[in-house]
Structure 1
Amino acid sequence: MLRSLRLAALLGGLLMAAAASARDIDAASYGFPLTNPFEATIASTPPELRPTLPIDEDITQADYSLTLRPEREFTLPDNFWPVKKLKYRMARQDHEAPLIFIIAGTGAPYSSSTNEYLKKLYYQAGFHVVQLSSPTSWDFMSAASRFATPGVTKEDAEDLYRVMQAVRAQHPRLPIKDFYLTGYSLGALDAAFVSHLDETRRSFNFKRVLLLNPPVNLYTSVSNLDKLVQTQVKGIDRSTTFYELMLEKLTRYFQDKGYIDLNDALLYDFQRSREHLSNEQMAMLIGTSFRFSAADIAFTSDLINRRGLITPPKQPITEGTSLTPAFKRALQCDFECYLTEQVIPMWRVRTDGGSVLQLVDQASLYALEGYLSKSPKIAVMHNADDLILGPGDIGFLRKVFGDRLTLYPHGGHCGNLNYRVNSDAMLEFFRG
């Protein structure tokens, strides 16, 4: 009996050691100055702690267009003309080089500031770089998505994969050594599913894949962000809106400074002034930003599919049509509302009655647990204080990725991606 207990204790210790084999970065040695996750998410890294990167004039780059859903040329309203073709950005080296695809986060276009930062980082390191919009951005939904109802990650990944194949076909003479893949936030979750898809289709045979701050359980992450809008903020009542409060604070801040200086350091400096935002105000700001993304998704999906939930299906929309009433209705629908009213009904039709729990599972990293645990080419970088993580998520990442998980103590949601320590670690991973 005693021997059995000792054996059980030994096995338990080995399992614990395996689960703890992630690269946990010590808070004292890390040096990232923002320990408040709300502040880090909003303000990002102080400029003096960021890597030195090339300016646009020193990068050989251009924007390109793809025609992937030609039928939308006729079915979309005329004022959707900018997104009837899918745009992407490519930066190219003047010699054979590895190519890396970057997938943007929730609602973000290919030209988002985080995509731009990552482009410069990898271009300077010698990569060709392709910047892609998120499947949840209105341009991708309009020009590339088959069902224009993002949220089923497997199907979003299939749409992304077609885009990547089309990009490669559009540049047949570009000398490419190997293919790499990364994404941040929701784009990281998409990257995991794209990598899994490529294991059978073999168009790219990605050499390495890096997931930056991915949601583990997509439903948990969007629920966390939805709840931030419900935060009770001191100073807000029926006569004073949240936006008026923010405007008053910014006005007083610039009056104290004596000039208006809108640059990357603004929020970091602002948070050190007497007008700094409270945790509740920062939570509301983050939640509001996410609510606008959710509204964009709900509005675009409803319009393309003519569901009539937000836009009247028989009402023609022209260049002169005001979309304000429809967008106001969309703002009343958070991400859970979008899932309930648009994603789940479509999912059930396509799966002949699939359950909500099945959808939640299949739209999250849980669906790829076996693949991710056995694929040495895939790694994760995350923050212990990330706002999108829920109970058990870090434990799941430890169990699945082991020493391929790098866990930083601070940084909020993607707030430390442009910290020099993190950028060095990204490059080190891709260089092998």
Structure 2
Amino acid sequence: MPRSRPIASLFAGLLLATQAGAADIDAASYGFPLANPFEATIAGTPPELRPQLPADEDIDQADYELKLRPEREFELPANFWPVTKLRYRLARQDGRAPLIFIIAGTGAHYSSGKTEELKRLFYGAGYHVVQLSSPTSYDFMSAASRTATPGVSRDDAEDLYRVMMAVRAQHPGLEVSDYHLTGYSLGGLHAAFVSELDERLRSFNFKRVLLLNPPVNLYTSVSNLDRLVQTRVAGIDDHTTYFELVLAKLTRYFEEQGRIDMNEAMLYDFQRSEQKLSDEQLAMLIGSSFRFSVADMAFTADLINRRGLITPPSYPIGEGTSLTPFFKRALQCDFDCYIVEQLVPYWRGKHDGGSLPQLIDQVSLYALADYLKGSSKVAVMHNADDLILGPGDIGFLRRTFGERLTLYPRGGHCGNLNYRVNSDAMLEFFRG
């Protein structure tokens, strides 16, 4: 594993990406208050700057299950019984309305926070809403993926498309005027590939498709996030762990406040206090969250496919088996490790060879450049200071999408999705 490095060197690429093109919207007129991309990524929009959205009790919604039975070489282990069916959430309007599918980001469940916020936004605007888990989440991998080896974008898109058709078939009485599609982070990349697939199969004929903070070069994006775990953080040594350091800061903050209040505004206020986390500590927090998602994906892919890289193929696993030792081993494997040990061998076996650069091109937006350049229904909203961008990424988005690219000056990675300005722009795009 590479040695840890100072935060300045980690984000030289991010600075280059930001400088590659001036932000389309002036920071002062935009009004988003968090200039620090690390803070924006974690804290999101202050509650008073978010739109007024319907509460859950005002939404006609329910969770449903699909039994898809993906054909695979191996049966699921016995302890996977809770995820033999794929769950999703549908919020329905009274009568005929447009329907929008929302694809979650890396490792995220269909009911994750950002997916829920987008649901409330579109439901409040009169849409039926279907929330889908990411193809990189353990539940999707177990119940819907034909390979249980996510990362080949076209394969992931085909799995998502099959799920979408099954969702529609499960609700024949739902009155739909037209179909729309969106996704955030990795879900934005998946939305692009699903849209291109639908252009050929014409099952939905999506009217509008919006990519929210998608990776351009998937390998660059995951490498940026992986490197955050290697950040050097002052105060961490043989006697104090990172989590103990953060807990101590939170404890002192709550003591100063005289109460424990874990509401949505807490982290924003916390970062305005003397106990605030440094950029290095914020970077470690973001990187740790991503590493857990990757570990979950690597562990699940290895276990389902009996590859023996993390869990011995012959190891007896039942409902009561502790998987903690194996998950700890999975945490030692970053995304590059997953690519080298699982994704590339699978991809080469399917395509009779091929280099890593070829794989990277095929799973990134580059593979869809011609389609995206010529499709007026597909648009992108991104942030100039997004942590997942690398040198040349903004230039690619400008050349490919032209006026269909909205580039905000601030927001980090998806930190401004629930900012009023962004929410209004999303609705305006889908309304045409």
TM-score by length of 1: 0.94
What amino acid sits opposite 2:429 in the alignment?
Answer: F
Q: CA deviation at 1:265?
A: 0.9
Q: Which residue of 2 aligns with 1:293?
A: 293
> Residues 68-87 of structure 1: matches in 2 within 5 Å?
68-69=68-69, 75-87=75-87
CA distance in 2, matches of 1:58, 1:408: 32
Contact 2:23/2:409 (<8 A) preserved: no
Q: CA deviation at 1:28?
A: 1.3
Q: CA deviation at 1:23?
A: 8.2
CA distance in 2, matches of 1:416, 1:401: 21
What amino acid sits opposite 1:141 in the alignment?
Answer: M
Q: CA deviation at 1:232?
A: 0.3
CA distance in 2, matches of 1:131, 1:262: 26
**Residue 181 of structure 2 is aligned to residue 181 of structure 1:** yes
Q: Which residue of 1 aligns with 2:381?
A: 381
Contact 1:23/1:406 (<8 A) preserved: no
Contact 1:23/1:404 (<8 A) preserved: no
Q: CA deviation at 1:69?
A: 1.8
Query: Which secondary structure does the structure 2 equivalent of 1:167 belong to?
Result: helix
CA distance in 1, matches of 2:165, 2:132: 12
Q: Which residue of 1 aligns with 2:235?
A: 235
Q: Which residue of 2 aligns with 1:157?
A: 157
Q: Which residue of 1 aligns with 2:147?
A: 147
CA distance in 1, matches of 2:288, 2:399: 33
Q: Which residue of 2 aligns with 1:33?
A: 33
CA distance in 2, matches of 1:97, 1:88: 19
* Structure-2 change in CA distance of 1:23 and 1:239 (3 Å): closer
Q: CA deviation at 1:257?
A: 1.0
Q: Which residue of 2 aligns with 1:9?
A: none
Q: CA deviation at 1:312?
A: 1.1
Q: CA deviation at 1:234?
A: 0.4
Contact 2:70/2:146 (<8 A) preserved: no
Contact 2:295/2:334 (<8 A) preserved: yes
Q: Larger Rg: 1 or 2?
A: 1
Identical amino acids, percent of aligned pairs: 77
TM-score by length of 2: 0.94
Query: Which secondary structure does the structure 2 equivalent of 1:75 belong to?
Result: coil
Q: Which residue of 2 aligns with 1:99?
A: 99
Q: Which residue of 2 aligns with 1:5?
A: none
CA distance in 2, matches of 1:373, 1:393: 15
Contact 2:70/2:145 (<8 A) preserved: no
Contact 2:23/2:384 (<8 A) preserved: no
Q: Which residue of 2 aligns with 1:220?
A: 220
Query: Which secondary structure does the structure 1 equivalent of 2:249 belong to?
Result: helix
Q: Deviations over 1:101-144 (max 9, x none)?
A: 00000000100100000000000000000000000000000000
Q: CA RMSD in A?
A: 1.4
Contact 2:108/2:133 (<8 A) preserved: yes
Contact 2:53/2:121 (<8 A) preserved: yes
Query: Which secondary structure does the structure 1 equivalent of 2:245 belong to?
Result: helix
Q: Deviations over 1:353-389 (max 9, x none)?
A: 0211110000000000000000000000000000000
Q: CA deviation at 1:271?
A: 0.4
Q: Which residue of 1 aligns with 2:53?
A: 53
CA distance in 2, matches of 1:381, 1:252: 38
Q: CA deviation at 1:82?
A: 1.7
**Mean CA deviation greater in 214-223 or 260-269:** 260-269
Contact 1:372/1:400 (<8 A) preserved: yes
What is the aligned residue count? 413
Q: Which residue of 1 aligns with 2:111?
A: 111
Query: Which secondary structure does the structure 2 equivalent of 1:182 belong to?
Result: strand
CA distance in 1, matches of 2:46, 2:52: 13
Contact 1:385/1:411 (<8 A) preserved: yes
Contact 2:189/2:364 (<8 A) preserved: yes
Q: CA deviation at 1:26?
A: 1.2
**Residue 265 of structure 2 is aligned to residue 249 of structure 1:** no
Q: Which residue of 2 aligns with 1:275?
A: 275
